[in-house]
Amino acid sequence: QGCPQKYVVKNYFYYYLFKFSAALGEEIFYITFLPFTYWNIDHSVSRRMIIVWSIVMYIGQVSKDILKWPRPLSPPVVKLEVRTNAEYGMPSTHAMAATAISFSFFIATMNQYKYPFELGLAAAFVFSTLVCLSRLYTGMHTVLDVIGGAVISAVLLMLLYPAWDTIDHLLLTSPFCPLFSIVVPLVLCYNYPKLDYYSPTRGDTTTILGAAAGATVGFWLNNQYTVPAYTSKSFQLAFSLIASKMTVVLARFFIGILVVLLTRWLMKSVVLGVLGYRYKFPIRDLEARRRLEVEVPYKFITYSSVGFTATVIVPQLHELLGL
């Protein structure tokens, strides 16, 4: 499973388009777009997206390991990815994430910002469609996997939408929010469905729930201490004065991403070092890092720190620098 197949690219436009589209459903996109939304657009939009994203992704990852539907056989398909080949296929979590993020962003912004409804709907549809098609092109999913993922995500979004405001209010005001945000995801990670062989789904799920937990604690803390928020007004001003505001937007983004990546590197090194000392294994021992007692705390602590940094530390740094 770890050996990449040989293939010949005949159409470089489709190849790079769908390789790029596939990345829109992976960590590289989550760790850039979600913080960018929080730093430069609107806190309320970002909170709703993160809530939907974490719930949808958890259900999708668990569904994979309960259903245990295999990925497409190779041959006849050629698989352009190796890492996710160890996972099961149904539902496509790329399709779920793309549908959840694009349409939750559209729904959360359509009543706050002035833009054509048709344009927003089309953008959400194109984004999710490109990611879905990329899973077929790369040979990682069947059509049924992709349709199933998109439909499940759409249903979950419709079920969650009526409770958005209530959930958001509780996350910001309840004194139990920090405890709930940490304990519940940890319990879910430690009780993740067991498989007969190692799959990265548990680690990926822990990463997602950890990031959401850290961000949620950050949301609550910001609300308690009234940290200045980026509002819809400032975002609309950025549209009207694009030339003068683009520098600020880019500065916020690049400084924030640098701090987030440094946090991830630092916490990963520290936590793995502590766990390696506790369980007597070298940090580079991949098999040891896959054990439940190592993988869950290592990824949860690392990415909850990332989520907390993105929502609390980075905005404070932006304010300090006058951004």
- By annotation, the residues acting in catalysis are 94, 141
Hey, what's the torsion of the CAs at 167, 168, 173, 179, to 10 degrees? 60
Closest C-alpha among 151, 114, 144, 318 to residue 235: 114
Question: Which residue type is seen at 136?
Answer: L
How far apart, in whole angstroms, are the C-alpha atoms of residue 2 and residue 46?
36
| Residue-wise DSSP of 239-271 | HHTHHHHHHHHHHHHHHHHHHHHHHHHHHHHHH
| C-alpha 93, offset from chain centre | 11
Helix segments in the chain, DSSP class H = 12-23, 27-40, 43-67, 93-109, 117-137, 143-160, 164-173, 177-190, 201-224, 232-240, 242-279, 286-289, 292-308, 314-320
Token pair for 271: 């936590």
Q: How far apart are the first and last CA of the chain?
A: 47
Check: CB of residue 25 under 8 Å from CB of residue 94.
yes
| C-alpha 170, offset from chain centre | 22
